Copies of this chain bind each other. A is one copy, B any other.
Amino acid sequence: MGFAEELRSSCAADWDAAVGHEFVDRLLGGSLPDSVLRHYLVQDYQFCDAFVALLGQAVASGPSLSSRLVFAGVLGAFAADENSYFRDCFDELSVPQADRNGPELTKATRDFDGLMRRALETRSYPDVLAVLLVAEWLYGDWAARAGDEESWPAAAKHREWIRLHNNPAYNGWVTWLREEFDAVAPTDAATLLRVTETFKDAVRLERAFFDSAMESPTPA
């Protein structure tokens, strides 16, 4: 068992609770209330800045040009796409500009943003990877529950969020992240402890983020 799988197993309760969350059930079933989706996406969108910064730190702290270029490609796709899914959904759900760019952040959002910025500050490749890996792998896991595309919900606001985390390129990226993380598993006790805590915190906060989404003001 690699380092990534070992850490995931060590926090299986939070991991499984996130992947099997009611939020995901309702998203996959097409019954997620718009008020919940709106609140969730508005909060999730606030991670863009720290997430892009983390990808940049991975380019800067990576061990080789070939590793750096993987993150460079992901950053390029991010820059090119201009968050079209978010923009389309915000338009469809009539999200005012103020809520897109500067909403009041929930505790779950502040906590996850803080975790990303602490990982950024370490400049440590395993710490940066731990956060990126949890975010991407866990999302890949819940999106994999969607199964064949025929069984996906009909509305674009639901199915495109699934597609973003369930497609061959995304799956390849998650696999690469996991192998990269395994390859740089820390050998000194202090770093190992810190990276392990970072990984576990990230999983716990992913679960809390779904919890928070379901507790949004008017969940209908």
Contact = CB atoms under 8 A, between A and B. Distances in A.
Interface stretch (A10-18, A34-42, A53-61, A184-192): A53-61
Given A72-B75, A76-B75, A79-B69, A53 B49 contact: no
A176 interface: no
Contacts of A72: 52, 55-56, 75-76, 78-79
A146 interface: no
Contact of A59 (B59, B64, B73, B123): B59
Nearest to A54: B60
Interface string A62-81: 10110011111101111110
Contacts of A78: 69, 72, 76
Interface of A: 48-49, 52-62, 64-65, 68-73, 75-80, 120, 123
